[in-house]
Structure 1
Amino acid sequence: MTRQTADDEKQARLAAALRENLKRRKAQARARRAEEALAHEHEPAPPAQADIPRT
């Protein structure tokens, strides 16, 4: 194996690892957004402006 081929393979492995890492991070972010959306569905809605008593 020549030095150029070894460097090319190393670059290809690095590029593949970076792509996989980006996919994993995007999937984690999507999961967090989905969990937050579900959590907000179960919260009571804030009172409408007309429902707030005036002092």
Structure 2
Amino acid sequence: MEREAGKNQGKTAADERDARLKAALKANLARRKGQAKARASTDGAPAPEGSPQGGSDAGEG
């Protein structure tokens, strides 16, 4: 297997840092969008009985 030696040549430490930050930001944004979408889909639906979101501990124990 050949290594891509020319891939990182010419990049400065600042360029590599910027690339890492850009990738992390993109992943974070995608994760947060997924969380917001999941919350939005569950906000309108009533919580199932016995779930912690129901607010009562009736029937447990």
Answer yes or no: same fold by TM over 0.5: yes
The letter for the 2-side match of 1:30 is: R
Instruction: Map 1:1-55 onto structure 2 (within 5 A).
Output: 9-47=11-49, 49=58
Which is richer in helix? 1
> Radius of gyration: which is bigger?
1
The letter for the 2-side match of 1:45 is: A
* TM-score, scaled to structure 1: 0.60
- Higher RCO (CA 8 Å, separation ≥ 6 residues): 2
Supply the RMSD in Å over aligned alpha carbons. Answer: 2.2
* TM-score, scaled to structure 2: 0.55
Runs of 5+ consecutive residues of structure 1 not aligned to the other structure: 1-5, 51-55
Runs of 5+ consecutive residues of structure 2 not aligned to the other structure: 1-8, 51-57
